[in-house]
Chains A and B, each alone.
Chain A
Amino acid sequence: MSWLLANLDMVLSLTLDHIWLSVVPIVLGFLLAVPIGAIANRYHLVRGTLVTASGILYAVPSLALFVLLPSIIGTQILDPLNVIIALTLYAVALMVRTTADALADVEPDVIQSAKAMGYSTWGRLVRVELPLSGPVLLAGMRVVAVSTVSLVSVGALIGVNSLGYLFIDGFQRNFPLEILVGIIGTVVIALVFDGLLVLMGRFLLPWSRITRTNGRLIVVQDDPVVINP
């Protein structure tokens, strides 16, 4: 406890690093994946390619991706950008599949009705199909958020600071408490993000309350776990 008090500044600053490194990939991942998922849902040929590509991307171990990126995009090995880009890629890989599946699950009758009411393709996507897919997208984003927060700490192995630094430092100093502080901090960030997403869901998708549990189970089934360290 006294260690935590003495090092509070460092822990807080690492926490802020950790939050920053997770928020960017989570938000970017969503913004990129939804249009790509919509394209995947519309064109079947593209869908197969995109789903396969996400599957392959998803299988790449995070540490390997972190050290590979500098040679692909020309960043420095210590650049936090490597972690941000790698985690964004994972988020996109997961959410493209989720978005495409969610859009494909919209009842054909509903789509026919929207067409009959005169919605354009684009208007139908934004005003009908995406809102109806909301609960599944939200469930996907909860998985993305929690696993991103957990993965950020692996970046500490390539020298990108986050709460993961406490794991390595604590390990080298033989000081389990420091590691525990890091674990608790990471889990708390993950829970706060998850809670925020649930709140946003309540606010933005008031019609989804009944299917919410159901939505979560769908993702658990389709892709049981997303922690890909």
Chain B
Amino acid sequence: MNNWLDALAWLVDPENLTGPGGVPARTVEHLGYTLLTLVIAAAIALPIGYLIGHTGRGRGLAVAVSGGFRALPTLGLVTVLALLMGLGILAPLTALVILAIPPLLAGAYAGVGAVERSTIDSARAVGMTEWQVFAQVELPLSLPLAISGLRSATLQVIATWTVAAILPVGGLGRFMLDGLPVRNYAEVLGGAIVVILLALVIDAVLAGTQRIVIPRGVKALRLASKRMHA
């Protein structure tokens, strides 16, 4: 129980709450890294995912690639890229973008895939262009699964940036990986608590967003598609 009190004391110690190495600064860093990673990964994954979803081509390949990427050990990817690309932000950023692509991709194409075929056919039948079919029908209806993909990617990116603190980068992993070798368990535990809270808060925010952006009627569709999968 002592450990928790130490961690708590560490968390409220003014020394750990200010300056470039303090909890707020590290949290902002962690959020910044996470956002940057997600923006780059989304810029690559979403167009490809929606293209696969819209055309229905390359789905098998995308499933295989996503599955294969899942087997890649994050720590291995982070360290090998750091040796090949040099220390600095670029190597872990590349590794994390690679790891964030599969869930975003899967969310996008699965989201479009879950839209009823007859809905898309109806959109064409009333004279919508391909772009309109995509932008006004497939995109909004794909949001529940696309955002669920974003949630997975976000959790994974937050978690992996802590692991990436094995490299000389900032973020909340610093506390855990700096504290472990010197047996400063108050710092280790304090850092762990902060990163867990961050992950939970961000996930809750995204879960809320997921509920808000879902257009009316999609909920019914979601239930229907769930039944279909049985």
A interface residues, Cβ below 8 angstroms from B = 55-56, 58-65, 67-68, 70-71, 77, 105-107, 143, 146-147, 149-150, 153-154, 156-158, 163-164, 166-168, 170-171, 174-176, 179-180, 182-183, 186-187, 190-191, 194, 214, 216-218, 220-229
Residue of A at shortest CB range from B63? A220
Structural contact, B152 and A63, CB atoms closer than 8 A:
no
Whether B155 and A58, one on each chain, are in contact in the complex, defined by CB atoms closer than 8 angstroms, is yes
Contacts of B72 in A (CB 8 A): 150, 183, 186-187
Structural contact, A225 and B73, CB atoms closer than 8 A:
no
Interface size class of B (residues with CB under 8 A): 35 or more
Complex alpha-carbon distance, A176 and B83, angstroms: 6
Q: With A60-B199, A225-B103 known to touch, is A168 a contact of B159 (CB < 8 Å)?
A: no
**Contacts of A65 on B, CB cut-off 8 Å?**
192, 196
B75: chain A residues within 8 A (beta carbon) = 153-154, 156-157, 164, 167-168, 229
Cα A182 to Cα B3 with chains together (Å): 34
Asked whether any CB of chain A lies closer than 8 Å to the CB of B74, the reply is yes
B186 to chain A, nearest CB (A): 10
Interface residues of B (CB under 8 A from A): 3-4, 7, 63, 66-67, 70-77, 79-80, 82-84, 99, 102-103, 106-107, 110, 113-114, 145, 148-149, 152-153, 155-156, 158-160, 162-163, 166, 173, 176-177, 180, 185, 188-189, 191-193, 195-196, 199-200, 203, 226-227, 229-230
Known A105-B230, A107-B230, A228-B155: A147·B70 in contact at CB below 8 Å: yes
CA of A125 to CA of B54, assembled, Å: 39
**CA A151 to CA B152, docked complex, whole Å:** 15
Contact A229 B163 (CB under 8 A): yes
A-B contact count (CB 8 A): 185
**In whole angstroms, what is the CA distance A167 to B81 when docked?**
11
Distance between B153 CB and nearest chain A CB, rounded to angstroms? 7
14 contacts between A and B (CB under 8 A): A64-B191, A67-B188, A68-B192, A68-B196, A77-B180, A150-B74, A154-B163, A168-B75, A174-B83, A220-B63, A224-B148, A225-B149, A226-B70, A228-B159
**B-side interface mostly:** helix
Partner of B176 from the list A63, A187, A221, A225 (CB cut-off 8 Å) is: A63
Give chain B nearest CB distance to A131 CB in angstroms. Answer: 14
Instruction: Establish whether residues A154 and B200, one from each chain, have CB atoms under 8 Å apart when the complex forms.
Output: no
Given contacts A217-B63, A224-B110, A225-B103, contact A153 B73 (CB under 8 A): yes
Question: A207 to chain B: closest CB distance in Å?
Answer: 15
How far is B227's CA from A100's CA once the two chains are assembled, in angstroms?
14
A interface: dominant SS: helix
The reply to whether B110 and A217 contact each other, CB–CB distance below 8 Å, is yes
Interfacial chain A residues near B158, Cβ < 8 Å: 61
A157 touches B102 (CB 8 A): no
Residue in B closest to A145 when the chains form the complex, CB atoms: B71
Interface centre among A65, A146, A191 (most CB of B within 10 A): A146
CA distance A68 to B74 in the complex (A): 20
User: Are A179 and B80 touching (Cβ within 8 A)?
Assistant: yes
- B185, A77: Cβ atoms under 8 Å? yes
What residues on A are CB-neighbors of B166 within 8 Å?
157, 168, 171
* A67 in contact with B192 (CB, 8 Å): yes
B156 engages A157 (CB within 8 Å): no
Closest chain A residue to B68 by CB distance?
A187
B174 to chain A, nearest CB (A): 12
Distance, CA A171 to CA B86, complexed state (A): 11
Contact A63 B162 (CB under 8 A): yes
Choice from B80, B107, B156, B189 contacting A227 with Cβ under 8 Å:
B156
Contact status B163-A59, CB under 8 Å: no
Q: Are A176 and B80 in contact (CB under 8 A)?
A: yes
Residues of A within 8 A of B196 (CB): 59-61, 64-65, 68
CA distance A198 to B148 in the complex (A): 26
Q: Is the CB of B152 within 8 A of A225?
A: yes
Of B4, B7, B107, the contact of A224 (CB 8 Å cutoff): B107
Other A-B contacts than A56-B200, A61-B158, A227-B74, 20 sampled, CB-CB below 8 A, are A55-B203, A58-B155, A60-B199, A61-B155, A62-B163, A77-B185, A150-B70, A153-B73, A154-B74, A164-B76, A171-B79, A171-B166, A183-B72, A183-B77, A186-B71, A217-B63, A220-B110, A224-B149, A224-B152, A227-B70
